A and B are shown apart, each in its own frame.
Chain A
């Protein structure tokens, strides 16, 4: 019988960097990649002292698919379906960022009707993303019921978007110069009915969950991030708005027809998990406001600009920034004048948002780290790309 030799246990590169420290009571824990609170396949290496985190380091790449390489192998239009798979929760925003970058490169002007439809579907998709985050975050914190309510409401959006796009999750509805198909005749009335319905549900959400003392205890003063920290890590979206900076790409660099709409950008100054929670809950209302204006002002006209069958942008490079549910999505496209992109770079907001986690988790309880992780709203396929 061989004696147990702990040094013979070989981990990988990530765990090798987490050697037991000088004292015996340090615990090295690999949380994930199959841990339920990591939403998919994120792994976090943790160094614990009792229940307190001394060091945390996310290990990425478990769902890496090399979208940027795929982009170089496909034609411009063939790459569009990939966009629904990068961030499957807010696929419309990625659709938009890619279509926008190529349109910018080609100098295509998108017809007004298509612009309004784009706004309406992107905001609907944002609500569905926030609802799913809300349910899943509370599930992380141990509350099971809210996700049932969230999915109930989200189902209505999926039905509306299915009627428009034909798919329920991985949309590739945008095309270079517009959108693929026109919306059905009852689109506006269904959207208005939905926003009315969601507004009527929000007070119940607040009473049931947001004002709940247990939730407050799990979120308040947890994972405090100030604006400076967010800026240095490149955290955007609800993360930086929860830190007191009311910055939103829809307002800062208006794209599409967002400058025609009147909407409020929610921001909270506390910078904790609760502030990020509140930003997202308020954004549900913001998105409802935008949807109402977009479908009521939906102009008649064509839904696609004439771009020809083969998309061949002139040589050059362009980037397009879009406010996704998780923050600033940017797609850089570089063209050599051929039928395939020379280089496509995807800037995923979740990637930068997650990188703050090492800083936020230091010194917190392990259970609070789960709360922090959830409050960053991670979608791993987007981070790993």
Chain B
């Protein structure tokens, strides 16, 4: 069941998830332009930011923010994709100070630039470390459509940043989103 506040996020799309099968109740797809306001809404609703998880996909870097209320099984995941050549996401550390380190960790591992971050430099890796260890080879990258089970996740913001994998999300459309 999608929590009510998700309607206020200005999401490109949102899909309900089965908590027993995924651990989350809703997946909300946003863009770098809308993420900051959306996270601010979640903060007002009393959500706790659990972590910021980046992953390297064919479409670009996906950044996922996992939030849950203090009590109950109600984890919501806000996600967005940024292209590999310009991985720029606005920071949310001004809303959640705890996001500071999570974003620095994403910077360490993927080189994602969190615009407006007060101190975006190496957190876990040594300062003279070159490169970003979790970036995959182009060959090893998978498209979101290869990683997403059709039954529950509908991701419609995907096709815009890179038109190329448009052929692939065909099965995604089968999952019958209730949004437009």
Binding site for B on A (CB under 8 A): 12-13, 17, 60-61, 64, 66, 68-69, 72, 101, 104, 107, 227, 231-236, 240, 245, 247, 251-253, 314-321, 328, 330, 332, 334-337, 342-343, 345, 347, 351-352, 355-356, 359, 384-385
Bound together, the chains give a CA A115 to CA B66 distance in angstroms of 27
Kindly list chain A residues whose C-beta atoms are within 8 Å of the C-beta of B1.
none
- Output the residue of B24, B124, B146 with the most chain A CB within 10 A: B124
A316 touches B22 (CB 8 A): yes
- Across the two chains, which residue of chain A brings its CB closest to B67? A234
- Across the two chains, which residue of chain B brings its CB closest to A107? B21
A234 touches B96 (CB 8 A): yes
Kindly list chain B residues whose C-beta atoms are within 8 Å of the C-beta of A355.
97-98, 100-101
User: Can you list 25 contacts pairing A with B, beta carbon distance less than 8 Å?
Assistant: A64-B124, A66-B133, A69-B133, A227-B70, A231-B48, A232-B98, A233-B97, A233-B98, A234-B48, A247-B71, A252-B71, A253-B73, A318-B21, A330-B50, A334-B55, A334-B147, A335-B147, A336-B146, A342-B142, A345-B51, A345-B53, A351-B101, A352-B101, A359-B97, A385-B124
4 nearest CB pairs, A to B: A316-B149, A234-B98, A319-B23, A233-B98
Kindly list chain A residues whose C-beta atoms are within 8 Å of the C-beta of B149.
314-316
Contact string, B120-155, partner A, CB cutoff 8 A, digits 1/0? Answer: 011111110000011000000010001111000100
A61 touches B126 (CB 8 A): yes
Bound together, the chains give a CA A315 to CA B142 distance in angstroms of 11
Say whether B116 faces chain A, with CB atoms less than 8 Å apart: no
Kindly list chain A residues whose C-beta atoms are within 8 Å of the C-beta of B114.
none
Bound together, the chains give a CA A13 to CA B121 distance in angstroms of 9
Binding site for A on B (CB under 8 A): 19-24, 43, 46, 48-51, 53, 55-56, 66, 70-73, 75, 96-98, 100-101, 109, 119, 121-127, 133-134, 142, 146-149, 153
Q: Measured between C-beta atoms, what is the minimum distance from A339 to chain B in Å?
A: 14
Kindly list chain A residues whose C-beta atoms are within 8 Å of the C-beta of B75.
319, 321
Bound together, the chains give a CA A233 to CA B20 distance in angstroms of 27
A60 touches B97 (CB 8 A): no
A60 touches B124 (CB 8 A): yes
Kindly list chain A residues whose C-beta atoms are within 8 Å of the C-beta of B73.
252-253
Q: Measured between C-beta atoms, what is the minimum distance from B8 to chain A in Å?
A: 19
- Output the residue of A60, A251, A345 with the most chain B CB within 10 A: A345
B98 touches A316 (CB 8 A): no
B124 touches A68 (CB 8 A): no
Kindly list chain A residues whose C-beta atoms are within 8 Å of the C-beta of B98.
232-235, 352, 355-356
- Across the two chains, which residue of chain B brings its CB closest to A328? B50
Kindly list chain A residues whose C-beta atoms are within 8 Å of the C-beta of B71.
245, 247, 251-252
| Option from B48, B51, B70, B147 in Cβ contact (under 8 Å) with A317 | B147
B66 touches A343 (CB 8 A): no
Bound together, the chains give a CA A314 to CA B96 distance in angstroms of 34
A316 touches B147 (CB 8 A): yes
Bound together, the chains give a CA A227 to CA B121 distance in angstroms of 29
Kindly list chain B residues whose C-beta atoms are within 8 Å of the C-beta of A251.
71
B124 touches A61 (CB 8 A): yes
- In the complex with contacts A321-B23, A335-B147, A232-B96 CB distance below 8 A: yes
Bound together, the chains give a CA A198 to CA B163 distance in angstroms of 63
A315 touches B146 (CB 8 A): yes
